[in-house]
Structure 1
Amino acid sequence: MSNILIHPGQFPVQQVTYRVSQYDGSPHTFVLYRITTRERKVHEGVTNRYGMTESIPTRYPDEMKIVFPESVNEEER
């Protein structure tokens, strides 16, 4: 059996957005967020009036971490 090495450059960059919802399904508007990609890039912002984040470029959309700090500058707990 041989090992196959896949270079990250072989994965296409995808643009990922999140929709933040309240428990009843309505958009959670103007909420502070911090998204960290697997590539260790941090994107901070505020959801828009539709509860959407900015578009985040990444090769690994399934390995993104999103937190909702009380303040964007707050350290993660």
Structure 2
Amino acid sequence: MKRYVEENLNMKSALLHVLGDLLGSVGAIISRLLGSAFNWYWADPIASIYSSNFNNHFWVSCNKRFASCINGRKTKSH
């Protein structure tokens, strides 16, 4: 399955989308619990920044690969 996901750009994009949503949801739940238990209300923006940085890092690599495919060049998987 891992090899198929690495080779298929659509599957990789779908997997990254699901992982990004999962990370955002887990971060929101944890930051809410920390905010309620310890009055750490700053945990929510930190979790959001971390989640968006994760998403941006992987979407940039996916978009570079997509652009290479459109231009007709072969690319290596990361």
Give TM-score, length-normalised by structure 2. 0.29
Report the structure, 1 or 2, having the larger strand content.
1
Q: Which has the higher contact order (CA 8 A, sep 6+)?
A: 1
Give TM-score, length-normalised by structure 1. 0.29
